[in-house]
Amino acid sequence: YLQDILPSFLLQSELIDTEEEEASDGEDGVASEEGDTDTTTTSELRIPEIYQGEVYVDRKSRFQGFCARVQSVSEAEAFRARLLERKKVSVATHNMFAYRLRDAATGQLHANRDDDGEGGAGDKMLSLLDLCGVEDAAVVVSRWYGGIKLGPDRFKWINHCTKQVLQEHGFLRSSS
């Protein structure tokens, strides 16, 4: 999977080291580290620091948000790839993704999303980023399905996790 989304230089073992991240995953089936302080830099790409939000449980499904400050589309993709290296995150039923950033050189706004099978979730996350005026940020919300269908309530939790992780780590004003 990683070979499809990342250039080959990122797949070198010195740039992607998953042992410490897997060792720090929680026992409850969700990621438990306070922040991934790895901000590996190469001449081509900076892998941003990963922040995580709280875990929310509704009818046995677990939701958790993650975010990073990004300055390019490749950094946003590197954030997602780095996050998916964490064993607990990689086994989530869905890892919905959205980013919104402004190119410093051209001033052009870049935005995109991926539902990861949870139809419409990426659009809702991207809409929230837009509504709140968030720029230079990428967000992933992971859902571990608990066996009970949540219907439209799942989108409430996806939006809540998106907003919570962004607010907790200073991407949003507290009144947003």
Give the residue among 63, 61, 123, 72 at the shortest CA–CA distance from 98: 123
Model pLDDT, residue 153: 94
pTM score, whole prediction: 0.74
pLDDT at 33 over 70: no
Q: Which long-range CB contacts under 8 A does 71-77 form with residues at least 24 apart? A: 71/46, 71/101, 71/104, 71/136, 72/101, 72/103, 73/99, 73/101, 73/110, 73/112, 74/44, 74/45, 75/45, 75/46, 75/47, 75/48, 75/138, 76/101, 76/112, 76/138, 77/5, 77/6
Q: What would the mean pLDDT of 145-149 be, rounded to a whole number? A: 94
Q: Give the range among 11-20, 31-40, 120-129 with minimum mean pLDDT.
A: 11-20
Q: Give the range among 28-32, 121-125, 168-172 with minimum mean pLDDT.
A: 28-32
Model pLDDT, residue 41: 45
